Amino acid sequence: GENVEQHPSTLSVQEGDSAVIKCTYSDSASNYFPWYKQELGKRPQLIIDIRSNVGEKKDQRIAVTLNKTAKHFSLHITETQPEDSAVYFCAASNSGSARQLTFGSGTQLTVLP
């Protein structure tokens, strides 16, 4: 089955700096890659996603890039703010069953004021 590895597990940045979180996946047939943000005590919520026919996608301060050849994708947050502090999870669709997602282990992002 699919295996998703996520790095780093913790990341601290100064407010205003950029943050990058990287994930690799194993199943070359995976074609959907969402990113979820989970604030403390709250449910995970989708912040951005990308499909395999696209190399990059942006939404304001958030961007995701996908390298299908290398089987890795990354989340980029620019001009970080304290409210960006949360756990971020990447995920990849599982080609074995059309609706499954395999999640990475998560990255605790802390934005220091």
Partner 1 sequence: DVKVTQSSRYLVKRTGEKVFLECVQDMDHENMFWYRQDPGLGLRLIYFSYDVKMKEKGDIPEGYSVSREKKERFSLILESASTSQTSMYLCASSPQGRGETQYFGPGTRLLVL
Task: Give contact residues for partner 1 (rule: CB under 8 A).
Answer: 1, 6, 9, 31-32, 34, 36, 42-46, 49, 51, 89, 93, 97-106
**Which of residues 51 and 61 has its CB atom nearest to partner 1 in the complex?**
51
The structure tokens 């994930």 sit at 23
Place of tokens 């990113």: 35
* Cα–Cα distance, 83 to 8 (Å, whole number): 19
Please state the closest distance from residue 79 (CB atom) to partner 1, in A. 25
Least distance to partner 1, CB of residue 16, Å: 29
Q: State the nearest-atom distance from the C-beta of 56 to partner 1, in Å.
A: 18
Nearer of residues 18 and 100 to partner 1, judged by Cβ: 100
Distance separating alpha carbons of residues 95 and 31, to the nearest angstrom: 8
Query: In whole angstroms, how far apart are CA 104 and each of 27, 28, 53, 90?
Result: 14, 16, 21, 5
Smallest gap from Cβ 18 to partner 1, in A, equals 23
Cβ distance to partner 1 smaller for residue 11 or 78 = 11
Q: Which is nearer to partner 1, 18 or 26 (CB)?
A: 26
What region does 87 belong to: left with phi over 0, alpha with psi -120 to 50, or beta? Answer: beta
